[in-house]
Chains A and B, each alone.
Chain A
Amino acid sequence: MTTKIASQEMKSLHFTPRKPAMTPGDKVVGAVSHTALTIWSLIVILPLLWTFMSSFKTSSEIFASPFALPSQWRFDNYIRAWSEAGIGSYFLNSVVVVGSALVIVMVLGAMCAYILARYTFPGSKAIYYLMLAGLTFPIFLAMVPLFFIMRNIGLLNTLPGLILVYVGFALPFTVFFLFSFFKSLPHEITEAAALDGAGEWRTFFQVMLPMAKPGLASVAIFNFLGLWNQFLIPVAINAAGPRVLSQGLAAFAGQMGYAVDFGALFAAVTVTVVPVLIVYVIFQRQLQGSVSQGTSK
C-alpha cells in the first residue's frame, strides 16, 4: 500500500516539477481535511481492531477491561469457533455455494446480455424490462412463494437449491451491467469473425467474451461481495439445511445469550471478515474503478 502511494506521489512530482506555493488558506483547509478524514478512518478501523484483539481474549478478560491487550495470544478461541461452533464447515459451504453460483451467473448473464445487446427481435424489449422488474422489487416479496417452489422441486434446505436461487437473483444485475458493456463493443469485429467463418458460438466464446474481460471482472467482484454477504435467502430457504457462513454466524451469535463464549464469537467474526478484506485490498483498484461504471449506466 505505502509503496503504491509513494509511486503516485513520484509521478505527480514528475509531471509538475514546480511545486505550487501553498497559501495559508490552503494549509488550514488541508489540515482540517486531514483531521476530519483521520477521525473518520479511526471510526472505521477501531471497531475492527477491537474485534480482532478481543478474539484472542477469554470472556473474563473481555469483561474486565475492553481495552487491555490479551494476557497471551491464544488461538483456542479460533479452534473452538472453527470446529465446535462449526464455522469451519459453514465457511466451506459458503465457498462452494458462492463459487458455483458465481461461475454459473457469470456465464448465463454474459450470454443473456450479449443476445439482448447484439440482436433485436420481437420481445427483446420485454425481456429487458422483465430484468428491470427483478432489480426493482424487494427480495422480501418473493420469499414466501420461493419457499414453496423450492419445496415442490425438492431443493429446499439443500446447497444446490441455494446455488440456483443465488444465480436467479444475481442475474438481473449481471445482465444490466454487461448489457451496456457488450453494446459498446464495435460491430465490425463480429462481422470480421463471421467473414472468417466463425459461427455464433465461436464468435461469442473466442472473440466477444475475451474482449469483455474488464467488464466481467467488475461484475464478478460485485457479485462475489453481494452473494458472500447474502443473509435473507439462506435463512428463508435453507433454514434446516447445511448452513452458509452468514447464516451460521447469526445462529452462533443467537445462542450467545445462553452459553457465553464471547472470545469464540469474536474469533468467528474475524474469520468472516478477514478473507473478504484481503480480497478487497488485492482488488481495490479494480473495484473502485467499477463503482462509478456500475451505477452511472
Chain B
Amino acid sequence: MTSVKAKTLRVGDGASAVVVPDTAPPAYKRRRKPLTFDKISFFVVFLGLPLAMYILFVISPFAQAFYYSMTDWSGFSPNMNFTGFQNYQKLFTDDIFMKAMGNNILLVIFLPIITIILSLVLATLVTVGGSSKGQIKGLRNSSFYRVVSFFPYTIPAIAIGIMWGQIYDPSGGLLNGLLTSLGMDQFKSFAWLGDKSTAMIATMFVIVWGFIGFYMVLFVAGIKGIPAELFEAARIDGAGRFRTAVSITIPLIRDNIQTAYIYMGILALDAFVYMAALNSGGGPDNSTLVMSQQLFFTAFTKGQFGLASAMGVVLAVATLIFSGLVFLVNRLTGGDKDVSL
C-alpha cells in the first residue's frame, strides 16, 4: 500500500508541474497574493494528485482504445499493424455482432420507456393518492412503499442476476412453482431463459425490476419539489387527478425524466452484468447476446484486442448518439421552455 502511494505521489508531481506556474496570478482577480509555498503545495497536491490518477486510469485508456481499434493488435506481442477502418468493416459484416447490436437496440427502445412509465405511475400514486380535499397529501404509509421499492437498487447486479436465474429455473424455480400452483400446468418445466421467444422478455423484466424503485424515488423527490399552490390551483380549476398528473406533474419534472431516460439508455447499451448472470453464453440462438458480452469474449478469450477496441468505440458512439437524441427530442418537443421553477 505504501509503495503504491509513493508511486502516485511521484506521478502527481510530474503532471501538475505543468499546471501550477500559470495558475494563481493572472486570472485570479479577487485577491492578488504572492505565490507562497503554502499555495503552491496546495495546488500541486489538491489538483495534481487526483488529476494524475484520473488521467492514468481513465482518460488514457479511453484515448488508447481509439488507436487500438485501428490496429490488428493481438495483445501479447509488441507488434501491431495499422489497419485503418478494417476492424469496423469486419464488425459491420459480422452477423453475430450485428445480432448483438440489434439486441442492444431492442433494450434501448424498451427498457427506458417501460421503467420510466411504471416508476412514474408508482410515484404519482404515492404522492397524490391521498385525499383530494384540503392540503395535497401523499398516500398513507407511503414511506414504507418507498423504502421497499428501493431495495433492488441496493442489491449488487450480479446477485440480482443469479437470484432471478434461480427464480426462472424450469424445475425448482419460484415462478413455475407459482404458475403451476395457480393451475397453469403448461409451465410445469418451462425454461423461461432457455426459450428463444421468452429469454429476452424475461431478462428485461429482471432489469426493470432492479431499477423501478430508484426512479420512483427520484420522481417522488421531483414531484415534492413542485409548489403545492400549483396543484391547488389546478384543482380549483376543476382538473381531476389524471389531468393534473399529465398536465402539471409530467411537464414540471421533465428534466428528471430526461436524466432518467439517459441513465437507463446507457445501462441498456451496457447490460453486461445481467446478461452474464442470466445467460452467460448469449442465450438460445443468441437472443440475449449484447455487444458488451461480445467485446469481453473477443478481448479476453480470443485475444483480438484491436477488434475488441473497435467494438468499444462502436459502443461509445452509440451511447453518444443516444444521449444526443434524447436531448434533441426533449428540446424539439418544447423542453426547458416553461419549466424554469
* Chain A contact residues, CB within 8 Å of chain B: 1, 4-5, 8-9, 12, 16, 20-23, 25-26, 29-30, 33-34, 36-37, 40-41, 43-48, 50-51, 54, 62-63, 65-67, 100, 108-109, 111-112, 114-115, 119-123, 127, 130-131, 133-134, 136-149, 153, 155, 160, 163-165, 167-169, 171-172, 175, 194, 199-201, 204, 225, 228-229, 231-232, 235-236, 239, 245-246, 249-250, 253-254, 262, 265-266, 269, 272-273, 276-277, 279-281, 284, 287-289, 291-292, 295-296
Contact = CB atoms under 8 A, between A and B. Distances in A.
Contact of A33 (B58, B125, B300): B125
Given A26-B131, A199-B38, 14 more contacts: A5-B144, A9-B140, A20-B131, A66-B176, A111-B50, A134-B54, A145-B60, A149-B60, A171-B53, A253-B162, A280-B154, A281-B147, A288-B217, A289-B221
Interface in B304-324: 305, 308-309, 312-313, 315-316, 319-320, 323
A65 B213 CA distance: 30
B299 interface: yes
Contacts of B8: 164
B187 interface: no
B316 A138 contact: yes
A1 B141 CA distance: 11
Contacts of A20: 131, 133-135
B105 interface: no
A247 to B, nearest CB: 8
Contacts of A51: 163, 166
Contact of A114 (B46, B133, B163, B177): B46
Given A46-B174, A160-B4, A236 B166 contact: no
A48 B269 CA distance: 27
B292 interface: yes
Contact of B145 (A25, A41, A163, A262): A41
Interface in B104-163: 121-122, 125-126, 129-135, 137, 139-141, 143-159, 162-163
A203 to B, nearest CB: 9
Given A288-B146, A296-B256, A138 B45 contact: no
A12 B143 CA distance: 14
B159 A273 contact: yes
Interface string B172-186: 111011100100000
Nearest to B49: A108
Contact of A143 (B1, B144, B299): B299
B53 A48 contact: no
B218 A292 contact: yes
A280 B151 contact: yes
Contacts of B325: none
A232 to B, nearest CB: 6
Given A5-B141, A121-B24, A245-B156, A136 B319 contact: yes
Contact of B62 (A16, A65, A67, A133): A133
Given A144-B308, A280-B154, A121 B22 contact: yes
Given A26-B131, A115-B43, A262 B166 contact: yes
B1 to A, nearest CB: 6
Contact of A29 (B129, B162, B269, B316): B129
A37 B218 contact: no
Contacts of B28: 119-121
B101 interface: no
A127 B51 contact: yes
A108 B65 CA distance: 26
B51 A112 contact: yes
Given A26-B131, A201-B38, A249-B158, A291 B214 contact: yes
Contacts of B149: 40-41, 44
Given A45-B148, A160-B4, A22 B300 contact: no
B177 A37 contact: no
Interface in B66-112: 68, 75
B268 to A, nearest CB: 11
Contact of B315 (A108, A141, A155): A141
Contacts of B41: 201
Contacts of B209: 43-44
Interface string B32-50: 0000101101110111011
B323 A136 contact: yes
